[in-house]
A and B are shown apart, each in its own frame.
Chain A
Amino acid sequence: MVEKILTVKNRAGIHARPATLIAQLANKFTSEITLEKDSIVVNAKSIMGVITMAAGYNTTMTLKVDGPDESEAASAIENLFETKFDDE
């Protein structure tokens, strides 16, 4: 189980396009990936779930990855957040 705290650096927050990128990336890995914000836990592999979190600019959330490829999945998603979803 790998846990990381991530911050949304994207000014527009996580809208449809970043959510799609997160979900598509998460689906490449076989591990269970969840994002947790304010006690709401969503499956990162589902776009609807990620969008429903309504994460705006500077929101922090906890990424939890559990499975065979957990470390690669965690670093890949962290990288996606760091590069602001290629938005800016």
Chain B
Amino acid sequence: MSVENQLMWVALFFLAFLSIFVYSVYMADKKFTVLDLLSLELQGHDVINLRCIGGRKGLTRAITVPDINRPGLALSGFYESFASQRIQVFGRGENAYLAKLVAEGNVDSLKKFFSFSIPCCIFTHNLEPSKVFMEMAEESGCAILVSDLESTELSNRLVRLFATIFAPRKTLHGVLVEVFGEGILLCGHSGVGKSETALDLVERGHRLVADDIVEIRCVSGNIIIGQGANSLISHHMEIRGLGIINVAELYGVGAIRKQKEIQLIVELEEWDSNKIYDRIGTNQRTKDLLGVKIPAIEIPVKPGRNLPIIIEAAAMNERLKKMGYNSAKDFNQNVLRWIETGEAQNAYFGQDDMY
């Protein structure tokens, strides 16, 4: 390699190291470890049924990428582009090949396998690897987990799980409610009436998802899901004059929800006489949350104005829009048609022809 080429590689390596360093510092506050994966409480068709059978020292290793890898090529000795930062899933084929390698005493590729800093290895179909493999795992401090699921099913569930865990997140100040099936985020300054409006909506039969602290995450790049930041106190609400009330206890389980997609943002603000508020509704304003554009409406608050009913109407209107019927645009079309008919009549008959 020429000197320039070598310098170029050094520079590239340095840049790569720097970007990894910056990335790890950014993610440094809360690492997702193998132990966290084992301790997750999943239900229904999300369960992955993992148990650790060895290499417990490796339980503290962090899972940094939301992908999985089937190490077939690596086991056969081909380590170019080996995705060592991914979780390694061993299916029936890989396990059989492992047994063959061990029987032949061919452990070089295994030694190289464990020389990488792998997050962990998961064996599917309840298969367990041989003692030789386990000993090498213990020595290198890599956790070995077993699941009773089939490889494809486990892969699908893990990918789905990681999409949630590694989704970009943010915490907002607002109240998230579900009205007629639409997730509505109420935003505004303190004291404008978000919690009180939410309480009225709950009384009318709608659901509270989170009060005050809403944690949002972006799933699949086009949906924002909001939930309470803390499951212990998320359905408590603070009402000035009343104090802190527990909505779940007062109104029951039908009045609360753990999480909901945010489909509409309602910005509440004190009525500003100098400001121009939307009177027609044909212009769809959107607000950007974690890169996703969500429809937003601005509602001025004034004593005597019935906010909950305005929000109910907004929710129903959003549903109509999604079904293809836009009331404001339809109204405008009708007006145009009416004007046209009037003009057409004038053109044909003229004012003088009317008897």
Enumerate chain B interface residues (CB-CB to A < 8 A): 29, 171, 173, 189-191, 211-213, 229-230, 233, 236-238, 244
Contact: B29 with A46, CB < 8 Å?
Answer: no
21 pairs, CB–CB < 8 Å, chain A vs chain B? A16-B244, A27-B190, A38-B29, A42-B171, A42-B213, A46-B173, A46-B190, A46-B212, A47-B238, A47-B244, A48-B212, A48-B213, A48-B236, A48-B237, A48-B244, A49-B212, A51-B233, A52-B212, A52-B213, A52-B229, A52-B233
With the chains together, A51 CA to B233 CA distance in Å? 10
Is A41 an interface position by the 8 A CB rule?
yes
Interface residues of A in 11-65 (CB under 8 A from B): 16, 27, 38-43, 45-49, 51-52
Contact: A43 with B173, CB < 8 Å?
Answer: yes
> Taking CB as reference atom, which chain A residue is nearest B236?
A48
- The 7 A-B pairs at the shortest CB distance, nearest first, are namely A45-B190, A48-B212, A43-B173, A47-B238, A48-B238, A46-B212, A49-B212
Q: Provide the residues of chain B in CB contact with A16, threshold 8 Å.
A: 244
Give the total number of A-B pairs whose CB atoms are below 8 A apart.
Answer: 40
With the chains together, A42 CA to B171 CA distance in Å? 8
Q: Provide the residues of chain A in CB contact with B230, threshold 8 Å.
A: 52
Report the minimal beta-carbon distance from B212 to chain A, rounded to whole angstroms.
4
Which residue of A38, A42, A45, A52 contacts B191 across the interface (Cβ within 8 Å)? A45
Q: Provide the residues of chain A in CB contact with B229, threshold 8 Å.
A: 40, 52
Report the minimal beta-carbon distance from A35 to chain B, rounded to whole angstroms.
11
With the chains together, A48 CA to B213 CA distance in Å? 8
Contact: A27 with B173, CB < 8 Å?
Answer: no
With the chains together, A52 CA to B211 CA distance in Å? 11
Report the minimal beta-carbon distance from A55 to chain B, rounded to whole angstroms.
13
Contact: B244 with A40, CB < 8 Å?
Answer: no
Q: Provide the residues of chain A in CB contact with B244, threshold 8 Å.
A: 16, 47-48
Q: Provide the residues of chain B in CB contact with A46, threshold 8 Å.
A: 173, 190, 212, 238
With the chains together, A33 CA to B236 CA distance in Å? 22
Residue of A40, A43, A48 contacting most chain B CB atoms (<10 Å): A48
Contact: B233 with A39, CB < 8 Å?
Answer: no
Q: Provide the residues of chain B in CB contact with A39, threshold 8 Å.
A: 29
With the chains together, A42 CA to B173 CA distance in Å? 7
Residue of A16, A40, A45, A52 contacting most chain B CB atoms (<10 Å): A52
Q: Provide the residues of chain B in CB contact with A52, threshold 8 Å.
A: 212-213, 229-230, 233
Q: Provide the residues of chain A in CB contact with B233, threshold 8 Å.
A: 48, 51-52
Report the minimal beta-carbon distance from B202 to chain A, rounded to whole angstroms.
16
Contact: A40 with B171, CB < 8 Å?
Answer: yes
With the chains together, A46 CA to B212 CA distance in Å? 7
Report the minimal beta-carbon distance from B181 to chain A, rounded to whole angstroms.
26
> Taking CB as reference atom, which chain B residue is nearest A32?
B189
Report the minimal beta-carbon distance from B232 to chain A, rounded to whole angstroms.
9
Report the minimal beta-carbon distance from A81 to chain B, rounded to whole angstroms.
20
> Taking CB as reference atom, which chain A residue is nearest B194?
A46
Report the minimal beta-carbon distance from B28 to chain A, rounded to whole angstroms.
10
Q: Provide the residues of chain B in CB contact with A42, threshold 8 Å.
A: 171, 173, 213
Q: Provide the residues of chain B in CB contact with A27, threshold 8 Å.
A: 190-191
Q: Provide the residues of chain A in CB contact with B189, threshold 8 Å.
A: 45
Report the minimal beta-carbon distance from A60 to chain B, rounded to whole angstroms.
14
Contact: A49 with B191, CB < 8 Å?
Answer: no
With the chains together, A27 CA to B173 CA distance in Å? 15
With the chains together, A40 CA to B246 CA distance in Å? 23
With the chains together, A51 CA to B236 CA distance in Å? 11
With the chains together, A43 CA to B171 CA distance in Å? 11
Which residue of A38, A45, A49 contacts B213 across the interface (Cβ within 8 Å)? A49
Report the minimal beta-carbon distance from A30 to chain B, rounded to whole angstroms.
9
With the chains together, A50 CA to B211 CA distance in Å? 13
